[in-house]
Structure 1
Amino acid sequence: MDLVIGRVAKPHGIRGELIVDVRTDDPELRFVPGTSLRGQLPRAKGAKRTEERRFTITAARNHSGRLLVSLEGVDDRTAADDLRGLLFLIDAADVDSGDDPDAFYDHELIGLPVRTIAGDDVGVVRDVIHLPGSDLLVVTAADDGREILVPFVSEIVPTITRGDSVLIDPPDGLLEA
């Protein structure tokens, strides 16, 4: 599974710098000069697959609250504009959430079974939706395959056992069809 750590928003200036929307908690570790990253270009109309290439970072700096990145071989605005929408990817296996018991990456939750604190099977985490107010776990119900949206807050999701399961304490009506 791939994790997106950044997305090229647009070019900056005439020397090929790129404005990157950062999607990682560790940009200072991921966007270091000399680092080679996989990049996935947006799918061209009519194309069946996306194109992937490797890019080497030659420079990275903050400018007005945004990350500006220079890549080897991208030396002018036209070349930079061709990379608009490029996603920088890393392998999820290379990342873990560390020792913080309340921090999880999406890939650590997806696929985990979900049970109530009473021990009833609810289903399996299929996705995590990140919203401005809070995150939601998208759970595929064990009994009928319907989608259940579970607010990812400690009152409802009190326990997650890494690599094992998610325990929930659902309020009345949350699991109803």
Structure 2
Amino acid sequence: MPEDPHVVARIGKPHALRGEVTVQLHTDDPQTRLAVGNVLPTRAEAGTGVPRQLTVASTRVHRGIWLVGFEEIPDRTGAESLRGTRLLAPEGDLAEDDTAEGWYEEELAGLEARDPEGTVIGAVVGLDLGVGQDRLVIELPDGSRTLIPFVEAIVLTVDVEAGHIVVDAPAGLLDLGREEG
């Protein structure tokens, strides 16, 4: 089975009324990847009606945030439907900077979270993509959720095949940002 194409960007919220969206970049070369005229495959939840590919009509940076418009999306309503969609590098067109080891949210969700001694502390239920760093969403045994910075100093091991991650959380980290589930 071939590997999924790498994510170039993840679409966020709509911006203004003409169909532009904010994007969270996952590439070091956005000028090339998001150049006007590029056709990018998409990955979205089934049944959302998101086109299988989008053609970049415009790009600009506004207050440090990348805004992208697509030929297929004429207005804010269409832009709203794109929220959460991933823009992918065309197959066979991966830049060297896009090939670093990484995990898709789908691969991480469902993994058991353990401490370094092997005690289960919860389960990964999602990935919260951040500007400075990504965070794993962990559901704790009591049903509440917390965010764990997805950095090597805290997430020591990700073993998708074995079905678990090892988290060395500093004291109190599991209680920060804790939300009732």
Fold match by TM threshold 0.5:
yes
Conserved? CA contact 1:37–1:56, under 8 Å: yes
Relative to structure 1, the CA distance from residue 71 to residue 56 in structure 2 (aligned partners, 3 Å threshold; closer, same or farther) is same
TM-score scaled by length of structure 2: 0.55
Does residue 29 of structure 1 match 2:24? no
**In structure 2, what is the Cα distance between the partners aligned to 1:147 and 1:114?**
14
Conserved? CA contact 2:11–2:87, under 8 Å: no
Conserved? CA contact 1:138–1:147, under 8 Å: no
Q: 2:117 is matched with which residue?
A: 118
Q: 1:147 is matched with which residue?
A: 144
TM-score scaled by length of structure 1: 0.56
Q: 2:159 is matched with which residue?
A: 161
1:91: how far off? Answer: 8.7
**In structure 2, what is the Cα distance between the partners aligned to 1:53 and 1:107?**
18
Structure (1 or 2) with the larger CA radius of gyration: 1
User: SS of the counterpart of 1:158?
Assistant: strand
Higher strand share: 1
Provide the aligned length of Structure 1 versus Structure 2.
150
Q: 1:52 is matched with which residue?
A: 49
1:120: how far off? Answer: 1.7
Q: 2:71 is matched with which residue?
A: 71
**Letter aligned with residue 166 of structure 1:** I
User: SS of the counterpart of 1:149?
Assistant: strand
**Letter aligned with residue 10 of structure 2:** I
**In structure 1, what is the Cα distance between the partners aligned to 2:61 and 2:134?**
29
User: SS of the counterpart of 2:75?
Assistant: helix
Does residue 6 of structure 1 match 2:15? no
Q: 1:15 is matched with which residue?
A: none
Deviating runs (4+, > 6 A) in structure 1? Answer: none
RMSD: 4.2
Deviations 1:37-66 (A, max 9, x none): 5698xxxxxxxxx75142642633336564
**In structure 2, what is the Cα distance between the partners aligned to 1:59 and 1:91?**
14
Q: Percent identity?
A: 21
User: SS of the counterpart of 1:155?
Assistant: coil
Deviations 1:78-131 (A, max 9, x none): x43443423162499x9xx7434xx44433322211111112222311123345
**In structure 2, what is the Cα distance between the partners aligned to 1:58 and 1:137?**
30
Deviations 1:120-153 (A, max 9, x none): 2223111233456754433233xx4433525324
**In structure 2, what is the Cα distance between the partners aligned to 1:115 and 1:137?**
13
Q: 1:20 is matched with which residue?
A: 21
Relative to structure 1, the CA distance from residue 31 to residue 104 in structure 2 (aligned partners, 3 Å threshold; closer, same or farther) is farther
Does 149-158 or 28-37 show the bigger shift?
28-37
**Letter aligned with residue 170 of structure 1:** A
**In structure 1, what is the Cα distance between the partners aligned to 2:138 and 2:35?**
33
**Letter aligned with residue 144 of structure 2:** E
